[in-house]
Structure 1
Amino acid sequence: MGNREDLLAGAKRCLYEKGYARTTARDIAAAAGTSLAAIGYHYKSTEALLNLALYDAIGEMGEKMAAALAAAGDPEGPPLQRFEVIWRSIIDSFQADRQVYAATLEIFGQMDRMPDLRAAFADGIEETRGWWAKTLHDVDVRTDEKTGRALGSFYQALMSGVMIQWLIDPDHAPSAGDLVAALRLVGEESR
């Protein structure tokens, strides 16, 4: 590996160990075994390098989750059964990739000052909304935008809330079974 790759690997290690806001250029250079000047030479700024490291970490996490979800359950099964299987995999990822979720959550409050990062996250959220609608309800947002966005936004909001609960208090955060039970209750009350 060269300095560029070492810096990216070092930045990812720092994200996992220290988080986004607490990682300094010195931390990254030390983790990568390079000089501070190498960050500016290869990435222009520490922020640009950290953002790339975060994108990479999220991409790796997304690939693992996609593989787990593809292997999970019967795609033709009942919706609540698919929902529970999918949520079990997602909650497992909250535990396995806790540092990446925490680093992501850490920068949400800074998004107004990071327009490139904000745009990338907005694109990711939009893509995920479409995935939710298609996976759980077989609704394609390209052909039924209103329904697809409504369903996808609901599940995306649920994911954000459950993720925060798992990061803050995993001992009391809802399980996949708890979410299914809650959906059943809401469904019964709405009749």
Structure 2
Amino acid sequence: MGNREKLLLAARECLERKGYTRTTARDVTQAAGTSLAAIGYHFGSTEALLNAALHQAMEEWGARLERTVGDVAGRPSSPIERFELVWARIVASFEDDRALWTVLSEMMVQAQHVPDLREALTASMAEGRAGLAEIFGDVVAPGDPANARLVGALCQTLLTGLVMHWLIDPERAPASNEITEALRLLAGGPGGPSGPGGRGLGSA
């Protein structure tokens, strides 16, 4: 493993252990067994290294999610039922990746005051939105790129809000079936999915 890979691995470990604002260049280099100069050589700055480490972690989470939900799109069920299955697996992943989501939430707050971090997170979110569009588009809007993009944007918004809720108050965070039912109610109008004139989300 080269110094660049060592630094990325060490940065991720430090982020998970200490958080974004408390992780220093010395923390990372001590964990990586490299010199401080190695950060500048490979990444330009400590902030760029931490941003790259988070980006790598999010890419890996996205890849795991794709593998986890890969079988859902082909199931013989309605789009809304497949949607619920995917969200169930996303919610289940929160506990395993709690440290990642905690760091990401901290960085979102810090991004309001650090332009470089905000730029990095904006780019990362754009990639994440595209990935969610691909995942959920296959589930609820196969073969329709425009609708898939809309679905991806909505799912990213849901994901960000759900993560914050889950981190602060996991016992009251909505489960996948509750998210699905809320969408059914919204799509069905005042009368709900089975109310007068209402057609539930994913209905024929």
2:153 maps to 1:136: no
Going from structure 1 to structure 2, the CA distance change for 1:25 and 1:182 (only over 3 Å counts) comes to same
Aligned-pair distance for 1:38?
2.2
Measured after TM superposition, the shift of residue 73 of structure 1 is: 6.6
**Cα distance 1:172–1:19, how it changes in 2: closer, same or farther (>3 A)?**
same
> Please, what TM-score do these two structures have when normalized by structure 2?
0.80
Q: Is the 8 A contact 2:10 2:32 kept in 1?
A: yes
Alpha-carbon distance between aligned partners in 2 of 1:59 and 1:136, rounded to the nearest angstrom = 23
Runs of at least 4 residues off by over 6 Å: none
Paired letter, 1:113: P
Q: Which residue matches 2:50?
A: 50
TM-superposed CA distance for 1:122, in Å, is 4.2
TM-aligned CA deviation for residue 174 of structure 1? 0.8
Q: Within the alignment, does 1:97 sit opposite 2:97 as a pair?
A: yes
Match of 2:167 in 1: 167
Match of 1:123 in 2: 126
- The superposition leaves residues 43-81 of structure 1 with CA deviations (integer Å, 9 ceiling, x where unpaired) of 221111111111111111111111111134744421121
Q: Which deviates more from structure 2 when the two are superposed, residues 89-98 or residues 112-121? A: 112-121
Query: Which of structures 1 and 2 has the larger relative contact order (alpha carbons within 8 angstroms, sep 6+)?
Result: 1
Counterpart CA distance in 2 for 1:41 and 1:153 is 36
What RMSD, in angstroms, separates the aligned Cα atoms of the two structures? 2.3
Deviation of 1:91 after TM superposition, in Å, equals 0.5
Name the TM-score, length of structure 1 as normaliser.
0.85
Identity %: 39
Residue 50 of structure 1 aligns to which amino acid in structure 2?
L
CA contact (8 A) 2:62 2:131 kept: no
Alpha carbons of structure 1 residues 57 and 122: separation in structure 2 relative to 1, 3 Å: closer
Instruction: Output one character per residue of 1:104-142: Cα deviation in whole Å (capped at 9) or x when no partner.
Output: 22222316602641442243144135323343222522x
Distance 1:123 1:56, change over 3 A: same
CA contact (8 A) 1:12 1:53 kept: yes
State the distance in 1 between where 2:182 and 2:120 align: 34
User: In structure 1, what is the Cα distance between the partners aligned to 2:149 and 2:63?
Assistant: 23
Q: Which amino acid aligns with 1:70?
A: G
Instruction: Report how many residues are paired.
Output: 187
1:57-76 to structure 2, matched below 5 A, reads 57-72=57-72, 74-76=74-76
**Structure 2: tracts of 5 or more residues without a match:** 191-197, 199-204
Task: Tell me the residue number matched to 1:12.
Answer: 12
CA distance in 2: counterparts of 1:185 and 1:78, whole angstroms? 17
Contact preservation (8 Å) 1:15, 1:23 = yes
Secondary structure at 2:86's aligned position in 1? helix
Task: Report the Cα distance in structure 2 between the residues aligned to 1:56 and 1:62, rounded to whole angstroms.
Answer: 10
Equivalent position of 1:185 in the other structure:
185
- Equivalent in the alignment of 2:154: 154
Q: Which amino acid aligns with 1:16?
A: E
